[in-house]
Amino acid sequence: MDKVSMGDDEVYKDAKGNVIVKIDQRYKRSAAVDQLVGNASKAKKELGWQPKTTLKELAEIMMFSDMKNLKITA
């Protein structure tokens, strides 16, 4: 698969030149998001879902992942 163009017109084609992946502008959202907020209460209420990871554990997982990517040791 070859990347044929970049940015908003990004397209990937196979060896025969058939378009495999193309960005659909209808589903693109701005990367400049001021705040993202989640609330799991609906999933808990309707699905009986419970998180397996606490907020503190999630923060640690994310921090250690960033440290690993940046090659920083604790």
Check residue 41 and give its pLDDT. 93
Q: Helix, strand, or coil here: 10?
A: coil
48 residue type, one letter: G
CB–CB of 22/28 below 8 Å?
no
pLDDT tens, 20-74? 888 888 887 777 777 888 889 999 999 999 999 999 999 999 999 999 999 888 7
Q: How many of the other CB atoms lie within 10 Å of CB of 11?
A: 14
Check residue 34 and give its pLDDT. 79
